[in-house]
């Protein structure tokens, strides 16, 4: 049976990991063992935080809407309840953008919903 040498594949695998770890601090960017640990952990953080980002943005939009609703003399929960009662489906991202960029239109929207 022929002898198998794995030097080239090992070099490719190490190079790929070290390229992904470039820019990391200290030994994590230079040695394979430390770089591999850092790359694996960063992949876990990236996977987790892609989901957490969605939650964070929803919380931000709700805070913005709550502040805008305070200026319109209505509570956020009452505003959302009134929208659901009327069957109006506008997502929180668009409502917060409207509240930031065009407060007059948001006030008119609140009056329409609460009327």
Domain regions of the chain by residue span? 7-114
Lowest mean pLDDT of 3-7, 22-26, 76-80, name the range: 3-7
Pick 7-114's CATH classification: 3.40.1280.10, 1.10.1900.20, 3.10.129.10, 3.40.50.150: 1.10.1900.20
Residues 6 or more apart in contact with residue 24 via CB below 8 angstroms: 35, 38
pLDDT at position 6 over 80: no
Tally: H helices and E strands in the chain: 5, 0
End-to-end CA distance of the chain: 85
Residue-wise pLDDT for 44-77, tens only, equals 999 999 999 999 999 999 999 999 999 999 999 9
How does the average pLDDT of the chain come out, rounded?
Answer: 94
Report the pLDDT averaged over residues 13-38.
Answer: 97
**What is the DSSP code (8-state) at residue 30?**
T
- Please tell me the pTM assigned to this model: 0.77
């Amino acid at each position: 049976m022929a002898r198998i040498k794995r030097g080239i594949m090992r070099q490719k695998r190490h190079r790929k990991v070290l390229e992904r770890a470039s820019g990391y601090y200290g030994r994590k960017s230079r040695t394979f063992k430390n770089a591999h640990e850092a790359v694996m952990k960063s992949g876990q953080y990236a996977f987790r935080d892609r989901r957490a980002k969605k939650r964070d943005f929803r919380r931000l939009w709700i805070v913005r809407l709550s502040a805008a609703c305070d200026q319109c003399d209505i509570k956020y929960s009452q505003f959302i309840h009134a929208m659901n009662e009327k069957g109006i489906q506008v997502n929180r991202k668009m409502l917060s953008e409207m509240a930031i960029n065009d407060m007059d239109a948001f006030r008119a929207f609140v009056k329409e919903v609460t009327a």
